[in-house]
Amino acid sequence: MKKFILCASLLLAGAQAQAQLSIDANVKGSYNSTWLFNKNISDQGTSQDYALGWGYNVGGGATVYYGPIGFGVEFLTGSHTGGYAGDFLGKYTSNVKLNVTQIPLLLKLKSENGAYLEVGAQVNSISKATYSFDYTDSDILDYSNDQTTNYAKTYTSALLGFGANIRVVKAIPLALNLGLRLQYGFTDSKGVDALNNRLNNSLIYPTYQKTNAVSGGLVFGLAYTFEPK
C-alpha cells in the first residue's frame, strides 16, 4: 500500500511539473439560431407557433490554462430573437428582438492539437426588447413597440461548446478559432407572447409558465497564446 501511494505521488508530481501555464486571449463572434420557448405559447395551436429567429454576438475574453485544463471569462454583446408565426384573423409573423450583454464563465479542456470542449454558465443582461408584428397579406396593421419592461433584466444560461484553435503558421502563437456553442436559459426571461400579450397576464394565462431563451450557433474568431515563463 505504501509503495502504491508513493508511486501515485510521484506520478502526480511529474504531471504537475510538466503542466504548462498558458493564457489564451481571444476576439470572437457568433451567428446563432435563437428561440424564446414558453409552454403557454406552445399550447396555442395554429394561432401561435414558433418560427426561426436569428441573433449574433461579438466580443472577447481570456482563458488561463494549467496544462489541458482552463478557466475562462468572456464579455459579449449582441442580439437574441424569438420568432413566431400563426393565423389570427389572417396569417402573420412576429418577433421579439432582445439586445443582450453576455458574460460566460467557462471550464475548458483542450488537447495538444488545439481541439477543445467547454462547459459553463452565462449571465445575460437585457438592455432592450423590441416587438414587431406583420400580417402576411396586408401592411395596414403592421407595427412595432418597446417591450423592455416586460422582460427580465437578467437571466442565466447553461452553456456547452466545442471546437478548435487552428494555427495557420505553427511558429506564430496566433490561431483561428472555429467552434459550435449551445445555450439553454434555465431561469425565466419573461416577456410577451406571439400576439404581444404579456405572459404574466392571468386573464389570458391562468397558469404562469417561464420563458427559456435557447440558442445554438457557429463561433469564429482569433486566439493569441501567451506562455509565461
In angstroms, the CA 189 to CA 181 distance is 20
Q: Kindly state whether residue 122 falls inside one of the protein's structural domains.
A: yes
Q: Kindly state whether residue 14 falls inside one of the protein's structural domains.
A: no
**Predicted pLDDT at 229:** 67
End-to-end CA distance of the chain: 37
Q: How many domains does the chain have?
A: 1
The domain that holds 94 is classified in CATH as 2.40.160.20
Q: Kindly state whether residue 222 falls inside one of the protein's structural domains.
A: yes
What digits encode the pLDDT tens for the residues 74-119?
A: 999 999 999 999 999 899 999 999 999 999 999 999 998 899 999 9
Q: Give the global pTM.
A: 0.87
In angstroms, the CA 165 to CA 220 distance is 10
Q: Kindly state whether residue 128 falls inside one of the protein's structural domains.
A: yes
Q: Kindly state whether residue 8 falls inside one of the protein's structural domains.
A: no
Instruction: Give the count of beta carbons closer than 10 Å to the beta carbon of residue 206.
Output: 8
Q: Kindly state whether residue 7 falls inside one of the protein's structural domains.
A: no
Q: Kindly state whether residue 11 falls inside one of the protein's structural domains.
A: no
Q: Kindly state whether residue 15 falls inside one of the protein's structural domains.
A: no
pLDDT of residue 220 exceeding 70, the answer is yes
Query: Residues 101, 123: contact at Cβ < 8 Å?
Result: no
